[in-house]
Chains A and B, each alone.
Chain A
Amino acid sequence: QITLKESGPTLVKPTQTLTLTCTFSGFSLSTSGVGVGWIRQPPGKALEWLALIYWDDDKRYSPSLKSRLTITKDTSKNQVVLTMTNMDPVDTATYYCAHKGAGMEFFDYWGQGTLVTVSS
């Protein structure tokens, strides 16, 4: 059974760096073709894909946020970490991590999401 769970601060100040951790089970991020992505959703708005890391450490970023994002993985801990620099109130959103299967360019398992509020 695949499960993912996001963790991190619920409140960050403007200009600070956000660090979120996705802890997963039921699959290995060393399996060929597998990836873990991050998607966010501001309150009442649409989903926005942010970043994805593949089993082989290949990393993809949203072009509009690339300069602010870093995604890393710790295969031994079954964790993926997303950092976003220079946080702004418009970054207030629920942040989800999700599993992407080998050869499957979609997200079939999602975490419950974590709401991050950016406010001074």
Chain B
Amino acid sequence: DIQMTQSPSTLSASVGDRVTITCRASQSISSWLAWYQQKPGKAPKLLIYKASSLESGVPSRFSGSGSGTEFTLTISSLQPDDFATYYCQQYNSYWWTFGQGTKVEIK
């Protein structure tokens, strides 16, 4: 199995901060990585796909980078609507795996 490890598990930040979340794969997944945002009681929302492609309608303050085994999600200037939990997800030609999530809290 490919394991996905996100860090940190929890992040405390203020409005306007630059925030970076890391996701590491236990083996290379090329660029087959997506990022989702989830708010309490809601389904996840796709933000980034293929490591760095921004989903339509997602604000440009969100960006993704990386390939192989290390990936990052960056929020350039944190907004009140961005306080949520973020998950990475990989695909390895047979199955899909999610990371354990990173909760972005208000500092």
Contact = CB atoms under 8 A, between A and B. Distances in A.
A46 B101 contact: yes
Interface of A: 37, 39, 46-49, 52, 60-64, 96, 98, 104-108, 110-113
Contacts of A61: 95
B69 interface: no
Interface in B19-53: 32, 34, 36, 38, 43-46, 49-50
B94 A105 contact: no
A49 B49 contact: no
Given A48-B98, A49-B96, A106 B89 contact: yes
A50 to B, nearest CB: 9
Contacts, number: 55
14 contacts: A46-B99, A46-B100, A46-B101, A47-B44, A49-B89, A52-B96, A60-B94, A62-B95, A106-B50, A106-B89, A107-B44, A108-B46, A108-B49, A110-B45
Nearest to A49: B96
A111 B55 CA distance: 18
A112 B45 CA distance: 11
Given A47-B44, A106-B34, 10 more contacts: A39-B98, A49-B98, A60-B95, A63-B95, A105-B32, A105-B34, A105-B96, A106-B46, A106-B91, A108-B49
